[in-house]
Amino acid sequence: MRVLEACPRRFALQYIGNTPRGETKQDLRTLGRRRPSGDYMRRAVSEAIHRRLLALKRNERTSPGDEAAWVRDYVRAAFMSGGEASHLKLDRSAVDDLVSRAQHRARRSREIDLLKRIDAGESMEWLPLERRQPRVTHRSLLWTAPDLIVHIDGTWNLVRFAMEAGRSGPREHERLELGLMLDWAMAEPSLPSDPAAFRIRRIAWRWDRWVDWQRPGTADWMRESRDLLDADIHILQRAHLKLDGFGNLDALPTARKRRECVSCGYRAICPGSLVKPIKAG
């Protein structure tokens, strides 16, 4: 729901539907998927970490060379003709630079202490999860699962990987979003029902290394995160009622900070964009 706060216009385009100018929902989905070139590099790193963990869970060993190949293939496929990012029309040297940066980050992820302990076969319970799979609740579809859950040293660790971070610790809204992993855990019958049994960890890339920020779970943290979620869902429901049909789309506020526009694919059709549009392929 951070999108709604940062740019109501982007929220409306992304979550509600058509525009009065003739763009269809399919047009909007295509625009919404467009990202700056660096996003595809970061996705490649995330995919490499996830694939390595899945392989380890199957008792299969992977090498840095395997991961380098995964990253290379992922990035090149995105930018090749017909690929998701082909509209950016990067030359080969620019794509190779993204591949090199992604391979470096994936290689350095082998130095993360928690992943080193898993890789070493240390006795523990652990499971990689697919965060992009939503959980269905009475509230809505929720994407609150961790990327990895590990029971180690008597504590359940709920781990979220962040492919880039502007600071060593999360901002307040990020901290509350991380706290929703506790809400996810409470809904899992095989896990403890006490938030204090968990530790929240955000492992993020910052300044050429992976930084492992962690805090113990608490009932207060979970309650604050749930309150944020309920408030956001209420705003979402009101926005659907008020904005469906886009009777006054141009009256919606746009982002006030340039960084919000950088990652937005809708800036090609946004009169308030603070950066140049992403090229329409």
d(CA 205, CA 45): 10
- Per-residue pLDDT reduced to its tens digit, 96-137: 999 999 999 999 999 999 999 999 999 999 999 987 666 656
Domain range annotation of the chain: 114-235
Q: What is the pLDDT of residues 199-243, one digit of tens each?
A: 999 999 999 999 999 999 999 999 999 998 888 777 666 666 555
Write down the H helix ranges in the chain. Answer: 2-6, 8-15, 25-33, 37-57, 64-79, 92-108, 113-119, 172-186, 219-243, 258-262
- Fold of the domain built from segment(s) 114-235: Trna Endonuclease; Chain: A, domain 1 (3.40.1350)
Residue-wise pLDDT for 16-66, tens only, equals 655 555 566 666 766 766 678 999 999 999 999 999 999 999 999 899 999
Closest CA to 71 of 91, 50, 41, 92: 41
Query: What size, in residues, is the chain?
Result: 281
Reported as half-sphere exposure (CB side, CA atoms, 13 A), residue 125 has a value of 9
User: How many other C-beta atoms can be found within 10 angstroms of the C-beta atom of residue 107?
Assistant: 16
Contact of 14 with 30, CB cutoff 8 Å: no
Distance CA 194, CA 192 (A): 6
